[in-house]
Structure 1
Amino acid sequence: MKNVCVVTGGGSGMGLATAEIMGKDHYIVLVGRTPGKLENALAKLHSMGVEAESFPCDVSSRESVQTLAEHVQSLGQVKAVIHAAGMSPHMGGGDIIFNVNAMGTIYMNEELAKIMPAGSCILNVSSMSAYMVPADKVPSEVYKLSLSDSSVFQEKMLGIVSSVPGEMSSNMAYTLSKNFVVWYSEKAACIHGKNGIRILSVSPGTFKTPMGELEGEQAASFALASALGRLGEPEEIGELMAFLASEKCSYLTGVDILCDGGTIAAMRSRS
């Protein structure tokens, strides 16, 4: 039986960087909406001697994620899930961003946990933006609905997102969805821990990735004003995520790791 690692958003950036490391002792399944877009990533992994394949999946669809779960279960033991797929404010409207980032996290965690053995790990990728939501603005009572009725949760959160106009909707959807990922990962860790499954989240700052480039000068300015004063390299976050998902961290669960070069620390020190 192969040890399988599922990587969403693995076509480039931090997802691919993590897959390269996890591929040393796991069979890699790169997940994306369109397998053709993953061809270059697969070619790179194969050139490194990594066994890997791609699989089409829309993480914002529970049915699509269920199909993914059935497939990867047939390959071997799913020991790790690196859920790095996500959309930034410049990639779509508020509803699409929320559905991919928040609902996608729920579906990936709930459906993949059903087939994962004890000793496995799900790592959800959030963002340092999660730390920028004022405590009194976090809709925690709505968040709680995600654990009992994800459809009602989705309806109420989309109502919040659509209550602001235009570009503000995309920004709100992104920030709240990433804040939710941190909240949800903590709660999911307690739910699935009884089955020996660890669930963590990582909140990256600004890295030299296609998504980081898409966010432009504003994102770069945050990084340049951080404690380290620079953007992160994909390999730096890849090494962290691979380590967290490994058995070396077998007692670590239910927490978020903020890896932002000290951006949030710098912001707080100036306040």
Structure 2
Amino acid sequence: MNNATASQTLPLAGKTALVTGGSRSIGAAIAKRLAADGAQVAFTYNGSPKLAEDTAAAIESAGGRALMIQANAANPDAVRGSIAKTVETFGALDILVNNAGIASPIPLEETRFEDYQAMLAVNVTGVFVATQEAVRHMKEDGRIVHIGSSVTKHAGFQGLAAYGLTKGAVAGFNRSLVHELGPRGITVNTVHPGPVNTDMNPADGEIAKMLTSSIPLGRYGETNEIASLVAFLVSPQASFITGADILADGGLTS
């Protein structure tokens, strides 16, 4: 089988994806997986240019096409610009993965209003603006996936009130979008990861010591496991799945 024939068998061949916050951890794993499945992938980053370069290099060394875009997810103009740059470079936008997010585990009474506003700007407003702008370019069979959090079902420990509020907003946004975008053939789903082994929340860290015993599978998830779920949801095989809130948490919330 030649390369051209092989590429046609990939589930996302001919598709263009944008992953927000795609330079590290779950976002990088998603960007790499979508590229491996045949998509040309743009991804945004903010404060980690070296990690963004590493992600782009990994995609390109595997034969994919990558576009790294510096864009602060808290800045609506930057978010809109990332959509425009993706369409300008690749000529289309078929898949949006709203992955960019921040968390500050601080007890409610100690949470500064500016910390809350920062989370709201990235986790809610950034998602709204990216989605609003992306659907202007999407055709039938478009795919949107939000990365939420199992915190919306089970917080597990204190200090997550503001973060849980923002992720709960994303889940509500998802359900409302179903009725607006369904008639256009665009699906929209939310993946809610539980504890995942990342640089911000390592499987051998202090939080893991509190949570792992409560996870029925007895371990943290891996970023590639979240990426595999996202890859399925944006594939043709998931064309009848929309409005779903899918937990990937090792049974933590069961």
Q: Which runs of 4+ in 1 moved over 3 A?
A: none
**Counterpart-to-counterpart distance in 1, 2:43 and 2:18:** 6
Which residues of 2 match residues 100-249 of structure 1 at below 5 A? Answer: 100-132=122-154, 171-213=160-202, 216-249=205-238
Q: Is the 8 A contact 2:21 2:46 kept in 1?
A: no
RMSD: 2.4
Q: Is the 8 A contact 1:5 1:28 kept in 2?
A: yes
Cross-structure match for 1:28:
41
**Counterpart-to-counterpart distance in 1, 2:223 and 2:20:** 15
Kindly indicate which of the two structures has a greater share of residues assigned to helix. 1
For residues 120-178 of structure 1, what are the alpha-carbon distances to aligned partners after superposition, in whole Å with 9 as ceiling and x for unaligned?
Answer: 10100000001137xxxxxxxxxxxxxxxxxxxxxxxxxxxxxxxxxxx9732211001
1:88 to 103, 113, 127: 103
> Gaps spanning 5+ residues in structure 1: where?
134-168, 266-271
2:55 to 28, 31, 41: 41
**What is the aligned length?**
231
1:71 to 85, 90, 101: 85
**Counterpart-to-counterpart distance in 2, 1:260 and 1:89:** 20
Q: Is the 8 A contact 1:131 1:179 kept in 2?
A: no
Question: Which amino acid in 2 is paired with 1:21?
Answer: R
Identity of aligned residues (%): 27
* Change over 3 Å in CA distance of 1:184–1:216 after alignment to 2: farther
TM-score, length-scaled by structure 2: 0.83
* Change over 3 Å in CA distance of 1:216–1:191 after alignment to 2: farther
Q: Is the 8 A contact 1:126 1:201 kept in 2?
A: yes
Worse-matched range after superposition: 42-51 or 112-121: 42-51
Q: Is the 8 A contact 2:23 2:43 kept in 1?
A: yes
**Counterpart-to-counterpart distance in 1, 2:239 and 2:145:** 13
Worse-matched range after superposition: 205-214 or 5-14: 205-214
> Gaps spanning 5+ residues in structure 2: where?
1-12, 107-113
Relative contact order (C-alpha < 8 Å, sep 6+): which is higher?
A: 1
**Counterpart-to-counterpart distance in 1, 2:173 and 2:184:** 17
